[in-house]
Structure 1
Amino acid sequence: MSAPRDPACPRHVGLHHVGLIGFGAIGRALVATLGADPAYRLTVLRRGDGVLPAGVGAVDTLGALIATRPALVVEAAGQGAVAQYGPTLLEAGISLVVASTGALADDGLLRRLTLAAAASGARLVVPAGAIGGLDYLAAIAGVADARVRYVSRKPPAAWSKELSALGHDPAALASEVVLFEGSAAEAAARYPRNLNAGLTVALAVGPALSGVSVVADPSVTSNTHEIAVESPAGSAAMRFTNRPSPDNPKTSALTALSLAAAVRRHFDPLVI
């Protein structure tokens, strides 16, 4: 665990205004993390009248959020929110961190977002989310003959509906069941709420991604991501075992921490 941030430290002087779209499991965890840091001021675009922590602002329209002029906005409301709000935010010159990276499987939307960012000078930021090693993956993306495979393994409880539809009893599953094999774009479209990591890998490595597998596995107790790499530059095997979010077993608790890290990198003068 990192040490508490010292607001007197020169790296964190000032108040950074961050907008947040969505206040579900990820949004609440992100607010709990950044809201405890006096360097950040938060404004949430939300639906409904749920109670927000003290000191956190709330708006109910995108126009109202833009009017507050946040330096950065984090999307944590699902793939539909990326299409609904992303282009307008980027056109307004406001950088956007996208939690629902599966939305970027839509080539037309990705092009709209990147063109809007390029025109305004804003940035479209894809966080690491539930995985790591994106620096390595990006480094070998252009290497000829590089091959990458991604496997998502989650406990049967995370796939109860899907397993039941296939005739399996999730509570009595004795061996792994492969729910999907194919491309990252197909996986993100089929499982829009929990295959964002596969799309993130695809964005990092491009054509080097040779396949994605989605597995319900009774031998794992945590959301597990496996990335295997073979290239002329070397080989790598990465395995990330994340505890599920207490509010949503299909989402890793690490996701909100990764979003917070992406926000901090946006403002920090030293980027690692």
Structure 2
Amino acid sequence: MTTLGLIGYGAIARDIVAAFPAHAADWVVLLREGASPVLPPNVRAVTRLDLLIQARPEAVVEAAGQEAVAAYVPALLEAGIPTVIASVGALADTALHTRLTAAGRIGGTRFVLPAGALGGLDYLRAIAALPDARVRYTSRKPPAAWKAELAALGLSAGQEAVTLFEGTPQEAARTYPKNLNGAFAVALAVGADKVTVRAIADPKAAGNTHEIEAESAAGTASFRLANTPSPSNPKTSALTALSLVAALSDLLDMGGR
């Protein structure tokens, strides 16, 4: 049985565990002190990072938010444990990105950034070297995904779409860390200086919709993904967990290299 690790045990982590046969994986999940979620028999909890490291998991998936990336992932990498990072927006902090890279070098391993709820990132990587490349990323979700954000702005869900944000990927990652990780996945693929981000609460949105429009000397392209929201967390697409499972499976197939 393979030992695997998780940071956090919310909707995404539960879906990841459910994707693996119970007899195939023994999970160790790092929880904050006082958390007490219901865990399946093949999942045990620890509340200290050193105990997660002592379990020597083949790989760890971070699924607890941007702060967890900074708090835990560098030590995991230095210990030689490859880690899949769900909260890609954390890498908007360039110092943290550098720290993670250095930690992976020390531990002889690496961190993996999955596509998450997106597609088309291979195209964006291909045009990244073109100086005229420009990309607009639009996150269009139903108001239920933006309930707290709308309330903070004194708005309520009506019949018309509301633009909540327009700016850089770095600003998006800081302002909406739970909703706009996809924006920074785009930025990492093509370069943050080439990307403009919009976030829209739209009562007519067909699920969590991601729109990518690219223009460069190589041509134009547009990608539109209408993802089903996670049943237990409307901020997140169900596809996110599937992408993390695929990234983790690839990592295990490669022996963590």
Q: If the length of structure 2 is used for normalisation, what is the TM-score?
A: 0.93
Corresponding letter in the other structure for 2:169: A
- Find the aligned partners of 2:190 and 2:22 in 1 and give their Cα distance: 34
How far does residue 181 in structure 1 lie from its aligned partner after superposition? 0.6
1:191-270 aligned within 5 A: 191-207=176-192, 209-268=194-253
- Residue 90 (str. 1) matches residue 103 (str. 2): no
Mean CA deviation greater in 257-266 or 114-123: 114-123
Alignment of 1:170-185 (within 5 A): 170=157, 173-185=158-170
Note the C-alpha offset of 1:226: 0.4
Residue 161 of structure 1: SS of its match in structure 2?
Answer: helix
Aligned twin of 2:16: 30
Aligned pairs for 1:155-166 within 5 A: 155-166=142-153
Amino acid at match of 2:205: V
State the 1:244 CA deviation.
Answer: 1.0
Q: Structure 1: which 5+ residue stretches go unaligned? A: 1-14
CA distance in 2, matches of 1:41, 1:70: 9
Indicate if the aligned counterparts of 1:145 and 1:208 stay in contact, CA closer than 8 A: no
RMSD: 1.7
* 1:111 aligned residue: 98
Give the secondary structure class of the aligned counterpart of 2:191: helix
Q: How many residues align?
A: 253
2:175 to 159, 179, 190: 190
TM-superposed deviation, 1:263: 0.4
Structure 2 spans left out of the alignment, 5+ residues: none
* Contact 1:184-1:211 at 8 Å conserved across structures: yes
User: What is the CA-CA distance between 1:208 and the residue it aligns to?
Assistant: 5.5
Residue 159 of structure 1 and its aligned partner are, at CA, apart by 1.4
Q: Structure 1-normalised TM-score?
A: 0.88
